């Protein structure tokens, strides 16, 4: 898939615009990687502590098997954050300028 960009200001060269966009994408990719890795490590700590994969946890939590302990909500938040940043990382990884 290709996406076109419209630049409203002709003051800058296409090379400058391309480099600026490439740098911005690289910065966003690195931020997404760092955040994804952080939340992945948070999930791994929960998994180790409870001998349960995040996938199994999510299913049990959704079914109500685990109750309402605050730690479960912390794990759920970490898992949702990991999913968000992993998706963003994968999208940005596929973009080239």
pLDDT tens digits for range 6-46: 888 778 998 999 999 999 999 999 999 999 999 999 999 99
Number of structural domains in the chain: 1
Residue with structure tokens 């992945």?
Answer: 40
Residue 43 lies in a domain: yes
Residue 80 lies in a domain: yes
Residue 3 lies in a domain: no
Tell me the DSSP string of the chain. Answer: -------S-TTS-HHHHHHHHHHHHHHHHHHHHHHHHHHHHHHHHHHHHHT--HHHHHHHHHHTTT---HHHHHHHHHHHHHHHHHHHHHHHHT---
Residue 9 lies in a domain: no
Q: If we measure between CA atoms, which residue out of 41, 25, 29 comes closest to residue 81? A: 41
What pLDDT, on a 0 to 100 scale, did the predictor assign at position 20?
Answer: 94
Residue 6 lies in a domain: no
Residue 73 lies in a domain: yes
Residue 30 lies in a domain: yes
- The pLDDT tens digits for 36-81 are 999 999 999 999 999 999 999 999 999 999 999 999 999 999 999 9
Residue 84 lies in a domain: yes
**Domain that residue 27 falls in:** 14-93
């Amino acid at each position: 898939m290709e996406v076109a960009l419209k630049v409203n200001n002709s003051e800058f060269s296409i090379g400058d615009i391309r480099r600026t966009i490439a740098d911005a994408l690289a910065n966003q990719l690195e931020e997404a990687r760092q955040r994804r890795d952080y939340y992945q490590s948070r999930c791994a700590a929960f998994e180790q502590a409870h001998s349960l994969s995040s996938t199994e946890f999510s299913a049990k939590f959704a079914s109500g098997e685990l109750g309402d302990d605050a730690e479960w909500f912390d794990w759920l938040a970490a898992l949702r954050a990991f999913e968000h940043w992993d998706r963003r990382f994968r999208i940005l990884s596929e973009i080239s300028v």
